[in-house]
Amino acid sequence: LIVGNIVENAFDALANFDGERIVSLSILDFDKEIVITVEDSGPGMDAEALKNIFTRGYSSKGKGHGYGLYLVKQSIDNLEGSIDVESVEGEGTTFTVRLPIKRDGEIND
């Protein structure tokens, strides 16, 4: 749900974009957390979109959309993780997800 939705949105952002179209995904396993980064070279988002991106029902795609990133945020919150979004209009968007790791026998602080 988490990675799939963010990657799908990145490709959607590039669908009608005339510039260079790149989506990159990295998943890094650190000692206490996994860091997932999805970056696209698309049109980016304005301040209003960034403010509302995780609001249930908000979408730039029109009616019937606006639930995916809301559910992504809920899932990340349930896993006690975090999600950050950076976007520059005309340059692209980067989503960074951080999820805590519990190794066998460990309790996260």
Q: With contact defined as beta carbons under 8 Å apart, do 25 and 5 qualify?
A: no
Residue 61 forms part of a structural domain: yes
In this predicted structure, what is the pLDDT of residue 66?
81
Structural domain boundaries, residue 24: 2-100
Q: With contact defined as beta carbons under 8 Å apart, do 45 and 89 qualify?
A: yes
Residue 45 forms part of a structural domain: yes
| Gyration radius (Cα) of the chain, Å | 15
Residue 11 forms part of a structural domain: yes
Residue 109 forms part of a structural domain: no
Q: Which long-range contacts (CB under 8 A, 24 or more apart) does 52-59 make?
A: 53/85, 54/83
Residue 31 forms part of a structural domain: yes
pLDDT in tens, 59-109: 877 676 789 999 999 999 999 999 999 999 999 999 999 999 987 766 655
Residue 19 forms part of a structural domain: yes
In this predicted structure, what is the pLDDT of residue 72?
98
Q: What is the CATH number of the domain that holds 18?
A: 3.30.565.10
Q: With contact defined as beta carbons under 8 Å apart, do 24 and 42 qualify?
A: no
Overall domain count for the chain = 1
* pTM of the model as a whole: 0.89
